[in-house]
Structure 1
Amino acid sequence: MVDRAPSLTGAGANWLTASEAASQIKAGDLTCESLVTACLDRWRARNDEVRAWTHLDPEQVLSAARACDDAGGAGPLRGIPIGVKDIITTHDMPTRFNSPHFQDHFPNIDAASVATLRLAGAVMMGKCDTVEFAINGRRAATRNPYDPSRTPGGSSSGSAAAVADGQVPIALGTQTGGSVIRPASYCGVYAIKPTWNAVSAEGFKVCSASIDTLGWYARSAEDLDLVAEVFAIHDDETPAYESLSGMRFGFCQTPVWDQAEAETRAAMARLADLLREAGATIVELELPPEFAGLASAHKVVMQAEMRSAFLAESRRLGNALYPEMVGILANKDGHRRADLVAAQDLAASCRKSFDALAAGFDAVVTPSTAGVAPKGPDDTGAATFNRMWTLLHTPCVNVPGFCGPQGLPLGLTLTGPRFHDRHLIAAAGLVGELVAARAEA
């Protein structure tokens, strides 16, 4: 079980949310160096068990924090340490993709996302472990902070675990199938996979260009919103929710509901009851039959785009790559270009259809995972309940707070029409507060 320090000063400052820490730094009640020091202390105490990082240089991070203190300024993320998934380039750290073939890879350039965060005052804490190339191959060495025998999920394994364990308040991840939302559910933290391409993909190792999306982890919805503002993610209308009373939620089991385990079914039912008690309206949302084809469409699109994204690696490394990846790059399933066109057309049609269906709700509730984290490390869980939304390009927010067997974390997803990211974050904040309050009652 994750051990949270009761104090928010000294060694306990690592448990501050990014918003709390930023406020204290701005007020002069907390230094950037003391915040980073608290995070480093937690890392030292827990690294042997959690193993969230592939690169972390304490002196480099402390130097950056001191520079923030010396420079002053009012950047919204001034002095906030951020973990970076190790497929995202950083000019001052290696980017190894957790691949044995890229252990000396040092691109010497910041990804667009990292550059944007640095300009907002953030300190890059280090590189977080990932499944090889963030798709398949070597598993991350990371363990679930709640139970080291279980996976933290993949592929953004280290990013989710580092935030959940109090080693850093914010961390970046990426999602092709369920690589942001699934680890968030397993590790009990907030996360957002924003609308596709709302954040630049420049500078991270792309697997599937029309699907891959950069997202981030935090311990509060307020922190998700803080980073969304830094990335200039804005809806056409500003969300103005004051309470859950009067809000409308669609509950969507999706075409793969038969794969939901007992704890996920119970969490969906429990949240529906809680929202009704809070004065919200609950409507069962059944998707049109054609949505059942999105899982296979996702596979066709992803694998076709992998063959172009990894063409150089395929020709240079051949069978030295992970066997599953070798098969995909060789098109062992025999997908034709006509299959790709059909998959793309289905996705385009369903995007328009879902936007219209979801427009009548403040958020659509759907499972984040089939159940709690499975035993690891080889099994990182399945993206069963995520692939459809990733292909549809919809924003998704994992709301933590539910529990399964042995008290293991379990989250649920809020989704909605494309480019309604800030509305979903606002709704997630209210839902998360409700769930947390009832869990403590």
Structure 2
Amino acid sequence: MISDAEPVLSATTARDRIASGALSCEALARQCLARIEARESEIRAWTHCDPNTVLDAARQLDRMPARGPLQGLAVGIKDIFDTHDMPTAYGSPIYAGHTPSSDAAAVALIRQAGGLVVGKTVTTEFAFFNPGKTRNPHDCQRTPGGSSSGSAAAVAAGQVPLAIGTQTAGSVIRPASFCGIVGYKPSYGWISPAGLKPAAWSLDTVGVFAADVPGAALLGSVLSGRDLRIDTASGTPPRFGFCRTPQWDAARSATRTACDTAINRVTAAGGDVETVTLPAIFDDLLAAQETIMAFEAARCLAFERDRHPRQLSERLAVLLDHGATIAAGHYEAARRRAAQCRAAFADCLADVDVLLTPSAPGEAPLATSGTGDPVFNRIWTLLGVPCVNVPGLTGPNRLPVGIQLIGSRDGDAALLRAAQWLAQAFESTPADPDRKVR
């Protein structure tokens, strides 16, 4: 289990203390490095972290005027993003020792805003499903989720207050749920994917991890160029729509109970929850996402499949072989279905502000079984709508079980405000055990 030691400062608290002079960038860096040293042997969240380089960079930040809103904040970078001064292997032996000549756009923006890049965090192979070495900080026998495994685990363990990841199916929301932190997947196209090793070009979305919603909103603001910052929660409760999705049968008891509890907390805090059922046109949307992802993956990784097939995992090789057999007509039919559902989704939010849905089927499974199932994330990624995992609930094994909120396309600011409201309701409001939503 995670240590009971005092947790690392949240991103916004650390930002404020650095700005006031109460905390130096170097002192925060030392705190983060101490936590990495203390638990890296069991969590294994990092592929690269050079303490001397980190401290030198922190001292340089202390000597210069503040560069931006991330001044001195330690950030973990998923090893799917290019970094000009650190190895970038994309989770594959094919690229062992590879160091790109430039930073990915997201990394460059973090540095420009004064962020301190601590190192590279573990990704699954090319951000697909073959697990890396990382373990869940709450129980090292279990997966942290994937593909943004190291980023989620590092934030959950208090090793960094912020980290970035990517989502093509469920690679931000699911690990955030398993690790008990906030994961924010913005609206598609809000954050530049330049310098990111692509997995599927119409699905890949850069996302962020933080201990709380204001921290995620802070980093999201820097990367998207929009003002998403949250300082206080709105006094008006959002209108929630509980949506089981067509995949509800995949929800295990821990997730069903968490949804019960979330709805109880909302109503106890003065909010309203309506049941929202997706139209029948959404029933095959998950299959459409799987088709699009496989078709595009086979083309994004055409070089690796052609020149280095023996260095691909069996699971990824099977996916790429399947994607190469998908006919263009079948792919286009899936794209048309996605477009139809995007157009219809606005009606689903006609009477509510956000949807409340599962983040994952249940608690984190054992690491030997893989990184978990993105069944409750795929359709939202395909729709391109913003998603936030709100932590605060646990399952029968006392492991985190998150709640996923879904907003309208480009409605990220309102979604983050709703997530902050829900997070505060989880902290302050008892549930009514008699209300059930199963």
Give your verdict on TM over 0.5: yes
Residue in structure 2 matched with residue 309 of structure 1 by the alignment: 300
Shift of residue 363 of structure 1? 1.3
Contiguous gaps of at least 5 residues in structure 1: 7-11
Residue in structure 2 matched with residue 221 of structure 1 by the alignment: 213
**Contact 2:214–2:231 (CA<8 Å) still a contact in 1?**
no
**Contact 1:82–1:123 (CA<8 Å) still a contact in 2?**
yes
Q: Does 1:204 align with 2:223?
A: no
**Contact 1:68–1:79 (CA<8 Å) still a contact in 2?**
yes
Alignment of 1:310-349 (within 5 A): 310-331=301-322, 334-349=325-340
3-state secondary structure, aligned to 1:435: helix
Shift of residue 72 of structure 1? 2.5
Shift of residue 84 of structure 1? 0.3
Q: 2:232 & 2:337 partners in 1: Cα distance?
A: 34
Query: Could you state the TM-score of these two structures normalised by the residue count of structure 1?
Result: 0.94
Residue in structure 2 matched with residue 114 of structure 1 by the alignment: 107
Relative to structure 2, which stretch is displaced further, 292-301 or 227-236?
A: 227-236
Shift of residue 234 of structure 1? 3.6
Residue in structure 1 matched with residue 53 of structure 2 by the alignment: 60
Look up the equivalent residue of 1:5 and give its one-letter code.
Answer: A
Change (3 A) 1:260 1:430: same
Query: Could you state the TM-score of these two structures normalised by the residue count of structure 2?
Result: 0.95
Q: Identity of paired residues, percent?
A: 43
Q: Does 1:26 align with 2:19?
A: yes
Q: Does 1:127 align with 2:120?
A: yes
Q: 1:362 & 1:239 partners in 2: Cα distance?
A: 20
Q: 2:31 & 2:233 partners in 1: Cα distance?
A: 35
Q: 1:313 & 1:352 partners in 2: Cα distance?
A: 36
Q: 1:239 & 1:348 partners in 2: Cα distance?
A: 35
Shift of residue 168 of structure 1? 0.3
Residue in structure 1 matched with residue 83 of structure 2 by the alignment: 90
**Contact 1:239–1:423 (CA<8 Å) still a contact in 2?**
no
Alignment of 1:38-437 (within 5 A): 38-73=31-66, 75-137=68-130, 139-234=131-226, 242-245=234-237, 247-331=238-322, 334-437=325-428
Q: 1:239 & 1:79 partners in 2: Cα distance?
A: 19
After superposition, what is the alpha-carbon deviation per residue over 1:21-45, rounded to whole angstroms, capped at 9, x for unaligned?
0100000000000000000001111
Q: 1:416 & 1:428 partners in 2: Cα distance?
A: 10
Residue in structure 1 matched with residue 5 of structure 2 by the alignment: 5
**Contact 1:89–1:111 (CA<8 Å) still a contact in 2?**
yes
After superposition, what is the alpha-carbon deviation per residue over 1:47-93, rounded to whole angstroms, capped at 9, x for unaligned?
11111000000011111100100003251000001000001011110
Residue in structure 1 matched with residue 436 of structure 2 by the alignment: none
After superposition, what is the alpha-carbon deviation per residue over 1:218-254, rounded to whole angstroms, capped at 9, x for unaligned?
0011111111221245489x99962254x31110000
Q: 1:221 & 1:119 partners in 2: Cα distance?
A: 22
Shift of residue 98 of structure 1? 1.7
Q: 2:246 & 2:289 partners in 1: Cα distance?
A: 14
Look up the equivalent residue of 1:355 and give its one-letter code.
Answer: A
Q: 2:20 & 2:368 partners in 1: Cα distance?
A: 43
Q: 1:70 & 1:303 partners in 2: Cα distance?
A: 48
**Contact 2:89–2:96 (CA<8 Å) still a contact in 1?**
yes
Shift of residue 171 of structure 1? 0.5
Q: CA RMSD in A?
A: 2.0
Contiguous gaps of at least 5 residues in structure 2: 432-438
**Contact 2:67–2:112 (CA<8 Å) still a contact in 1?**
no
3-state secondary structure, aligned to 1:143: coil
3-state secondary structure, aligned to 1:366: strand
Q: 2:214 & 2:254 partners in 1: Cα distance?
A: 27
3-state secondary structure, aligned to 1:96: coil
Look up the equivalent residue of 2:104 and give its one-letter code.
Answer: A
Look up the equivalent residue of 1:172 and give its one-letter code.
Answer: I
**Contact 2:360–2:376 (CA<8 Å) still a contact in 1?**
yes
User: How many positions carry a matched residue from both structures?
Assistant: 431
Shift of residue 355 of structure 1? 2.5
- After the TM superposition, which parts of structure 1 deviate over 4 Å for at least 4 consecutive aligned residues? 238-241
**Contact 1:251–1:366 (CA<8 Å) still a contact in 2?**
yes
